[in-house]
Amino acid sequence: MGDGNPRLLEARRLIRRVRRDQAREFLAEGPQAVREAVATPGVVLEVFGTPAAFDQHGDWLAEAPVSLQPISDKAAAGLSETVHPQGLIARCRFLDVPIARVMGGSARLIAVLAGVADPGNAGTILRTADAAGADAVIFTQGSVDPYNGKCVRASAGSLFHLPIVRAGVYAEIRAELAGAGFQVLGAASTATRTLGEPDTDRLLRARSAWVFGSEAHGLAEIESAAERSGAVVDEHIRIPIWGRAESLNVAAAASICLYASATAQRHSRS
C-alpha cells in the first residue's frame, strides 16, 4: 500500500481530535493495544502494519477477522505518535457508551475524570480502574480525549476492557450519579475524613463514584463552577501526606482511592 494511499491519508488525519470526532474513529498503536482491539468485537476497521510487524504478530493477526493493510516503515512512523513506532496500528470505531448504560443495577465503582488534562495520567487511571474492577470510567468535557493516542497507549489495552463515557459538564454527571444512588467521593487535602481509617473503610463499601480533578487545580475548577448548583461531591476524603510533598500526582492518588474502594467493597461482601 503506497504512502499516498487515500486510506492511509484518511487514517493519518485521526491523529487530530477534530477529525476523530467527525469520523467517530481513532487509532490504537502497538501490539498490545491492537491485540486488545481485535479481541473486542466490532471495533477494528482495519490494521495497518509494516512487513516486520505482520511477520512478528502474524499468528494472532491471521486469526482475527479484520482487514490487514501492509504499509512502509515511513508510513507507520507517519501514523505513530511515539518516538519508537512499533509498526502496528489499528483504525477503530469509537467505543464510548451513553452515561445511562453504566449506571445499571450491578455497577458499584465508577471513576470520573473531571478536568484531567494529561493523556498519560488519564490512560493510567483507565488502566488502574480496570485493574481495580471498576465498572466504568467517565470523562467530562473538560478532560483530555480518551481517544488521544497517548491516552490509548497509557491505558495498555484497558480502553477496550471497561465501558467509557464521554460526557458533558460535570454538573450533569453529578446529577446522573446521584439519581442512580452513587455516593460521590473526592480526594481533598483539607478533608477531615481520612483514607485508611475504619470509618472511611465502612463508607467506601457503598456504591461509589470517585471524582478526579485537574493536575493543576484538583477539584477547585468544578467546585467554583458548581457553587450555584450544590455540592460537587458527597464526601471529601483526605489521602494522608506524611512527608513533605504538597500533593500526589492525580494518577497516583486515583490508584490509592480506587484500590481502597475496591478492597472495602469486596471485603464487605465476603
Positions touching a second copy (CB under 8 A) are 120, 124, 127-134, 154, 156-158, 161-162, 196, 239-249, 251-256, 259, 262-263, 266-267
Q: Nearest approach, Cβ of 8 to a second copy (angstroms)?
A: 27
The terminus-to-terminus CA distance of the chain in angstroms comes to: 56
**Which CA distances in Å does 31 have to 22, 37, 50, 57, 58?**
26, 10, 12, 8, 11
The Cα–Cα gap between 143 and 149 comes to: 14
Q: Which CB sits closer to a second copy, 75 or 264? A: 264
Q: Nearest approach, Cβ of 256 to a second copy (angstroms)?
A: 5
Q: Which CB sits closer to a second copy, 39 or 77? A: 39
Amino acid, res. 196: G
- Cell representation of residue 128: 488502574
Q: Which CB sits closer to a second copy, 71 or 151? A: 151
Residue 54 dihedral angles phi and psi, to the nearest 5°: -65, -35
Q: Nearest approach, Cβ of 204 to a second copy (angstroms)?
A: 12
Given strand 109-113, what is the order of strands in its sheet? 164-166, 136-139, 109-113, 208-212, 183-187, 235-237
Q: Nearest approach, Cβ of 96 to a second copy (angstroms)?
A: 17
The Cα–Cα gap between 49 and 51 comes to: 6
Entry field: residues in the chain = 270
Q: Residue for cell digits 495520567?
A: 121
Q: Nearest approach, Cβ of 4 to a second copy (angstroms)?
A: 31
Q: Nearest approach, Cβ of 169 to a second copy (angstroms)?
A: 26
Q: Which CB sits closer to a second copy, 22 or 247? A: 247
Q: Which CB sits closer to a second copy, 179 or 196? A: 196
The bridge status of strand 25-29 relative to strand 88-93 is: antiparallel
Q: Which CB sits closer to a second copy, 69 or 158? A: 158
